[in-house]
A and B are shown apart, each in its own frame.
Chain A
Amino acid sequence: MIRHFLRRDVRDCRLYWASLLLITVASLFAGVIGLTILFWVYFMFPSMAQGYILGSPWRTQHQMSRHYLLALPITHKKLFVIQQVRMLVFWLPFSIFAACLPFTILNSLQVYGFYYFALFVSILVFMHSQIWSALEMESISTYVPKGYRLWAYIKIFIVVGGTMMILGQGWTNLLSDNLVARGPKVPFSEFLSLMRLIPAQTIFVGALILLAFWVPHNARRWCVTL
């Protein structure tokens, strides 16, 4: 069943993938700036597919509606797993890119043994942050009364922004030792050392624990029978 969805995704999103390939080839000729561009393009790429995959409860011709997906004879648990796998496919370029960094720029695989665990957790957290924010936006558009909408938007900003900040701090803590010590003195190095109060290990293990609650929460909201 999952292949049926993935085949369809490849056909529907071939323009996205072709564009990504073009940007990749162009960036390879642009040196370090090209790599920076690639990092951000790969990081933003999954958000293009988010709406298309999750489906929408309101009318649109750009994506399959959620009601259609939920009415299909697939267990909702399996359907939600399929949805996550479909989203993860769009995280593949970023995952491969980030997984290669210890061999290339960082050049220190031994130091970053924890790196791959942090990468895995970060991608899952980002993905569930996407799912959560999409569901919140739906809720704002459909149910939340006018007076509460501003607070609902602020809640999205705090949760998504907070998640990014905490993970960002985790990554800073994981990488700053070497980058700051090896590189030239940067204006924010003192600030970076202040942020080291929480060890990266604590942040990423904490994020994994957060996921244990966040995934079932998102699953129940996306398909109420879970």
Chain B
Amino acid sequence: MSSMIIAMGLQYRLHKERDILNGVSFNLNKGEFLAVLGENGAGKTTLLDLLMGFRRRTGGQLRVMEEDPDHDGWEARARIGYLSEKVDIPGDWDGEEFLAFHRRFYNSYDLAREKRLVEQFKISYEERVGYLSAGEIRRLQIIGALAATPELLIADEITAVLDILGRRKFLQVLQEQQKERGMTVVLATNIPEGLEAYADKILLLNRGRQILFSETNVLDGRGDLAGAVAERLERL
């Protein structure tokens, strides 16, 4: 099975004295679903920023789709979908304007898939972004990212503002695309509840340090991933 992400001893140090990430190592194969978990300030967003090349690592090795994200790997970015709470769309645009702007960048963009996703996520093309709720804006971004048929989806805390149905729908769609075309998923979240049904692997971080990287079922012995994660974190 080919590796999509290889991280070895990953480090990100800020202002010399403060380690945001230190010694993070993991390997993610094509078609796998990795849930990155940890308390606030654990370094989840920083890790995803490093994967996307938004920050330059200060130590360790990192390969994402066989490329070093520190280099300007635009060809790899064409195959990566990125979702983040940090991504925002101008409020004056409507849904169609955003998707029209977005689809122009991706040769792999699938318009039929976009229409299916618009129906699944119940988003209107005509509604102005400024009038949408935070959760609806995330749904719009999800549609744009998934319609570009990415091989790797990197999602940073995207589920926090989705409602129960939206979150469930999002995870189901990810699983469908994972099975249908082998999409790899990295999802950083503060909400592990219900992830045991979707995630193949768990990366647990605490204050920038890796606590655990394992198959989900190793941690989730009693079918309660959230409980097992909380237990692990409380023991620290």
Contacts and interface: CB of A to CB of B under 8 A. Distances in A.
Specify whether A and B are partners: yes
Interface of A: 1, 4, 8, 12, 52, 56-65, 67-68, 70-77, 143, 224-226
A57 B86 contact: yes
B145 to A, nearest CB: 9
Contacts of A8: 101
Contact of B52 (A12, A65, A70): A70
A77 B73 CA distance: 11
SS class, residues of chain A in contact with chain B: loop
Contact of B80 (A65, A71, A225): A71
B104 interface: yes
Given A59-B85, A59-B88, A73-B105, 17 more contacts: A1-B105, A4-B101, A61-B89, A62-B90, A63-B90, A65-B87, A68-B88, A70-B52, A71-B52, A71-B77, A72-B77, A73-B78, A73-B106, A75-B72, A224-B56, A225-B71, A226-B72
B123 to A, nearest CB: 17
Contact of A62 (B14, B80, B91): B91
B88 A65 contact: yes
Given A72-B77, A73-B74, A225-B71, A67 B53 contact: no
Contacts of A56: 88
Interface of B: 14-15, 52-56, 69-72, 74-75, 77-78, 80, 82, 84-92, 101, 104-106, 129-130
A56 B54 CA distance: 13
B132 to A, nearest CB: 10
Contact of B54 (A52, A58, A70): A70
A72 B54 contact: no
B75 A73 contact: yes
Given A4-B104, A60-B88, A68-B87, A224 B77 contact: no
A59 B86 contact: yes
A108 B62 CA distance: 60
Given A63-B90, A74-B74, A225 B53 contact: yes
A143 B14 contact: yes
A123 B69 CA distance: 33
Nearest to B14: A143
| Closest A-B pairs by Cβ, 3 of them | A73-B78, A61-B91, A71-B82
A70 B139 CA distance: 20
Contacts of B130: 61
A72 B75 CA distance: 10
Nearest to B83: A71
Given A71-B77, A73-B106, A226-B72, A61 B54 contact: no
A56 B89 CA distance: 11
Contacts of A52: 90
B72 A76 contact: yes
Contacts of A57: 86
B44 to A, nearest CB: 15
Nearest to B68: A225
B55 A224 contact: yes
A53 B202 CA distance: 38
Contacts of A70: 52-54
Nearest to B108: A73
Given A67-B54, A67-B82, A72 B72 contact: no
B90 A12 contact: yes
A176 B75 CA distance: 53
9 contacts: A61-B89, A62-B91, A64-B89, A67-B87, A68-B87, A70-B53, A71-B87, A73-B74, A74-B105
